[in-house]
Every structure is written in structure tokens, then in C-alpha cells.
């Protein structure tokens, strides 16, 4: 039979979390069952719950930053044994044979990567996928990430989305010592980006809309903090940067950042605002600021996610987390605090406290 699972779901787009029990498919020969210890709250979860990007199906159990312990392994499993730590990020399956999958870019699978929640798992009887705000997950070993035994396990979950989403474009661009770089949006993703960039020896400027995080940016090694609501601080920044990463989840002007790039500088965009507040970049602004490159990036492939996790643990790069108990009211309130900018820097739900 299937695996009975308890968790928290929203039943419509009102953001109210309530207990929800459901069944996951039984552990297959190539699969593992993970007892979820910690689940991060990513801003993408909030966008989904609120239907920021379009219609959703309910009930919805969000959560794609998952860290836990293996409690069962299928007969063919070689990567994990019972008792190991294991993690899951944004996706749990893909076709495994298209050009993207063959190049370790499963997130761009031509047949569609299967998302950890809000998706249909076509490889498991069209089961609706439900995420990590729950007590366990059943997943193919190939889509689970090994977490070293010495990791600070209560801080690992956000690396599986916020970590890889920032690490991947930073590595893709090949940031090196002395590069002048910017991070726009200093939240869950942004504060990990700053840590990776500082570690690589880059000279980092942080852009955000609040004074509340100015000291945190300096503490993490950024050399400059720009409150974009203060126009004085925006003076003299044009044509200064080799690379800027935008994690902004709200309305903003991307052209402001394009103008800050040097010739051949690159703007990577990972933040995805709501459909109602989607920024756009006029073609003439691209031509008037020629020879800069703008690209989007989604999470990272499984191989790169493993590399990111090993690198992060080895270098002591972790999110700064606020651990909250697993109850519906607390999760509901946490969502509003993320939107209001009241979290430093990532909420992580302690799923062990689920009753
Ligand atoms: P957070 O809410 O944790 O962080 C966002 C930060 O951006 C906050 O610090 C916020 O300020 C700041 N901000 C808001 N408006 C502006 C602005 N105009 N200029 C500068 N900074 C601003 O969100 P996450 O880090 O979890 O996620 C960020 C975005 O990335 C989301 O849209 C999410 O959906 C997307 N995402 C994309 C992925 C991908 O694969 N491409 C993967 C994961 C997430 P304040 O301090 O006031 O809150
Ligand atoms: Zn995420």
C-alpha cells in the first residue's frame, strides 16, 4: 500500500494552512522514503499559494526545500541507506533522455521536469505531487541529494532551492576574485548569493528596499549596500558592474540594473514577480545599453545541486534561519512576514514538531 502522510495544506488561495492527510505511492525499487526533518519557506511557495502566477489546484501542500532522514530504501537503491540524511529540491523527476536531461539540466527537461508539488507525477500513476510541509516524501534516489553527515541539518533545506538557484548562475558566469558584482533583493536567495560571491572573492554590492538589512550585508562581507528607495545612493553606479543577480519578487525596473553593467557585463534574473506586477524590458533600452547580456536561470540540475550542497557544507555557507514549529497558524503567519520583509533570512519549519 501507499505511504500515509500528514502535513499542512491550503484549500484555496486565501493562504490559510490547515492539517491535511494524504497518501503517497509505495516506495518503488529505485526509490527512497525520507522522513522530513526540516522544510524551508521559499517565496515561490507564497507565489503559488496566492495564485500570483496563475490558477492553481487545491489542496496544495507547498515546500520544495526539504531535508530529512532516509527511513526506507527500495531493493535497487545504491546511493542511500537507512539513516542517511537526504534532501529534495524543486523537482522529483524528468524524462532522463532528452538533450537537457543528458546534459544534467533536468530542470529544463523537454517533456517537463516534475515539480515537487503542484504537479502531476506521470511516472507514478499521475499522482498529484505534494510538497515538504509534511512528514515524509517518497522519491527516486536519482532525484534525492546526499547531505553529508556533518552538515548543520537544521540549516540545509534552503540550500536545495535558494542555494542552487543562486549558485548556478554565479558558477555559469564564472565569477572570480575582484569581479565587481551586485545582488538585487537581499532575502532568502539574495543572502546566499552574497555568501557565494564573497567566498569567490568578488566585490559585492547589495540592493534592497530596507534599512533593516544594511548591517547584515556588511557582516556577510558585502562592501556596499544600496537602499534603492534613496536616490542619492543610486548615483555613480552606471557601467560599474561585471555581474548583477536579480532575486527581486516584486515590481521593479530591470533597466536600472542593465545600465549598471559594464560592456559585456551580465544580468542574471531569477526572481519572478506576480503576473500582475511583472516588469518588462523595452527593446530600445536593450539596444541603447548594448553589449550587455541578460539571462534567466531556474534552479540547477541534480548534479550541480549535489555539487552546490557539498561546496556549501565544506565552506560553512548556510542560510540564516528562523526555525518555526509545524502548525497551520504559525505557517500562515510566517507567509505574511516574508511578504512584509520581517524574516532574517529564511523560515524553516521543524517538521519533527508536527503532531
Ligand atoms: P524573499 O522574500 O526571501 O527575498 C526577496 C527580497 O527582495 C527581500 O529582501 C525584499 O525586500 C527584496 N525586494 C523587494 N522588492 C525589491 C526591490 N524593488 N528592489 C530590491 N529588493 C527588493 O524571496 P526569495 O529570496 O525566497 O525569492 C525571491 C524570488 O525568486 C521570488 O520571486 C521567487 O519566486 C524566485 N525564485 C526563483 C527561482 C528560480 O529557479 N528562478 C527559485 C526560487 C525562487 P524586503 O526586505 O522588504 O522583504
Ligand atoms: Zn524555492
State the CATH number of the domain containing residue 134: 3.90.180.10
Q: Which atom of ligand 1 is least distant from the CA of 207?
A: 20
Are 154 and 166 found together in one domain? no
Please identify which residue in the block is written with the cell numbers 539540466.
105
CB 261 within 8 A of CB 292: yes
Ligand nearest to the CA of 207: 1
Name the residue with the closest Cα to ligand 1, atom 20: 208
Q: What is the share, in percent, of the chain residues with pLDDT greater than 90?
A: 99
Nearest to 266 by CA among 296, 307, 229, 231: 296
Are 181 and 263 found together in one domain? yes
Are 65 and 101 found together in one domain? yes
CB 267 within 8 A of CB 281: no
The confidence score (pLDDT) of residue 89 equals 98
Please report whether residue 182 resides in a domain.
yes
Tens-place pLDDT, residues 219-251: 999 999 999 999 999 999 999 999 999 999 999
**CA 42 to ligand 1 centroid distance, Å:** 9
Please identify which residue in the block is written with the cell numbers 557565494.
196
Helix (H) or strand (E) holding 257: helix 254-260
Are 42 and 119 found together in one domain? yes
CB 345 within 8 A of CB 188: yes
The confidence score (pLDDT) of residue 240 equals 98
Tens-place pLDDT, residues 52-67: 999 999 999 999 999 9
Ligand nearest to the CA of 131: 2
Tens-place pLDDT, residues 84-102: 999 999 999 999 999 999 9
Are 144 and 167 found together in one domain? no
Are 262 and 174 found together in one domain? yes
Are 141 and 229 found together in one domain? no
Please report whether residue 35 resides in a domain.
yes
> What does the pLDDT average to over 301-319?
98
**CA 212 to ligand 1 centroid distance, Å:** 15
Please report whether residue 303 resides in a domain.
no
φ, ψ dihedrals at 30, nearest 5°: -105, 20
Pocket around ligand 1 at a 6 A CB cut-off:
42-44, 47, 161-162, 165, 184-190, 207-210, 228, 247-250, 252, 270-272, 297-299, 338, 341
Are 132 and 42 found together in one domain? yes
> What does the pLDDT average to over 103-131?
98
Q: Strands 3-10, 85-88: parallel, antiparallel or unpaired by DSSP?
A: unpaired
Are 7 and 135 found together in one domain? yes
Ligand nearest to the CA of 227: 1
Ligand nearest to the CA of 66: 2
E-only strand ranges, 3-80:
3-10, 17-24, 31-40, 66-73
Q: Across the chain, what does the average pLDDT equal?
A: 97
pLDDT band at residue 300, thresholds of 50, 70 and 90? very high
Q: What is the share, in percent, of the chain residues with pLDDT greater than 70?
A: 100
**Residue 206, class by beta-carbon neighbours within 10 Å (0-12 exposed, 13-18 middle, 19+ buried)?**
buried
Cα pseudo-dihedral 117, 122, 128, 132, rounded to 10:
-30
Which DSSP state fits 319?
-
User: CA 204, CA 192: separation in Å to the nearest integer?
Assistant: 12
φ, ψ dihedrals at 182, nearest 5°: -130, 150
Are 64 and 131 found together in one domain? yes
Name the residue with the closest Cα to ligand 1, atom 12: 185
Are 17 and 143 found together in one domain? yes
- State the total domains in the chain: 2
Please report whether residue 100 resides in a domain.
yes
Q: Which atom of ligand 1 is least distant from the CA of 297?
A: 41
pTM: 0.98
Tens-place pLDDT, residues 18-49: 999 999 999 999 999 999 999 999 999 999 99
The confidence score (pLDDT) of residue 355 equals 81
For the domain that residue 187 is a member of, what is the CATH number?
3.40.50.720
Tens-place pLDDT, residues 258-287: 999 999 999 999 999 999 999 999 999 999
SS3 140: strand
User: Is the dihedral angle over the CA atoms 175, 177, 180, 184 positive or is it negative?
Assistant: positive
**CA 188 to ligand 2 centroid distance, Å:** 9
**CA 285 to ligand 1 centroid distance, Å:** 24
- To test the ligand 1 pocket, which listed residue (42, 164, 249) has its Cβ within 8 A of the most ligand atoms? 249
User: CA 325, CA 64: separation in Å to the nearest integer?
Assistant: 17
Structural domain of 347:
3-158+320-353
Tens-place pLDDT, residues 133-162: 999 999 999 999 999 999 999 999 999 999
Amino acid at each position: 500500500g501507499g505511504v500515509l502522510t500528514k502535513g499542512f495544506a491550503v484549500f484555496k488561495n486565501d493562504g490559510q494552512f490547515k492539517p491535511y492527510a494524504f497518501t503517497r505511492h509505495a516506495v518503488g525499487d529505485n526509490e527512497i522514503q525520507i522522513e522530513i526533518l526540516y522544510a524551508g519557506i521559499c517565496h515561490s511557495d507564497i507565489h503559488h499559494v496566492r495564485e500570483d502566477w496563475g490558477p492553481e489546484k487545491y489542496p496544495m501542500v507547498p515546500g520544495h526545500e526539504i531535508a530529512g532522514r532516509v527511513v526506507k530504501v527500495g531493493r535497487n537503491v545504491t546511493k542511500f541507506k537507512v539513516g542517511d540524511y537526504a534532501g529534495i529540491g524543486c523537482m522529483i523527476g524528468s524524462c532522463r533522455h532528452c538533450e537537457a536531461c543528458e546534459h544534467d539540466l533536468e530542470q529544463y527537461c523537454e517533456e517537463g521536469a516534475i515539480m515537487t508539488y503542484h504537479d502531476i507525477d506521470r511516472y507514478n500513476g499521475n499522482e498529484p505531487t505534494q510538497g515538504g510541509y509534511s512528514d515524509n516524501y517518497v522519491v527516486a534516489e536519482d532525484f534525492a541529494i546526499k547531505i553529508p553527515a556533518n552538515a548543520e541539518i537544521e540549516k540545509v533545506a534552503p540550500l536545495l532551492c535558494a542555494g542552487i538557484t543562486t549558485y548556478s548562475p554565479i558558477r555559469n558566469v564564472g565569477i572570480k576574485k575582484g569581479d565587481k558584482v551586485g545582488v538585487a533583493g537581499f532575502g532568502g536567495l539574495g543572502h546566499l548569493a552574497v555568501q557565494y560571491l564573497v567566498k569567490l572573492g568578488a566585490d559585492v554590492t547589495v540592493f534592497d528596499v530596507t534599512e533593516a538589512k544594511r548591517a547584515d550585508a556588511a557582516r556577510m562581507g558585502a562592501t556596499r549596500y544600496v537602499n534603492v528607495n534613496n536616490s542619492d545612493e543610486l548615483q555613480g553606479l552606471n557601467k560599474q558592474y561585471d555581474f548583477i543577480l536579480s532575486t527581486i519578487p516584486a515590481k521593479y525596473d530591470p533597466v536600472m540594473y542593465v545600465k549598471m553593467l559594464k560592456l559585456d557585463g551580465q544580468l542574471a534574473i531569477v526572481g519572478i514577480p506576480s503576473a500582475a506586477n511583472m516588469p518588462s524590458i523595452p527593446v530600445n533600452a536593450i539596444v541603447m545599453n548594448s553589449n550587455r547580456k541578460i539571462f534567466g536561470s531556474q534552479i540547477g540540475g541534480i548534479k550541480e545541486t549535489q555539487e552546490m550542497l557539498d561546496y556549501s557544507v565544506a565552506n560553512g555557507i548556510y542560510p540564516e534561519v528562523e526555525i518555526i514549529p509545524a502548525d497551520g497558524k504559525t505557517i500562515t503567519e510566517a507567509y505574511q512576514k516574508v511578504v512584509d520583509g520581517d524574516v532574517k533570512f529564511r523560515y524553516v519549519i521543524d517538521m519533527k514538531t508536527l503532531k
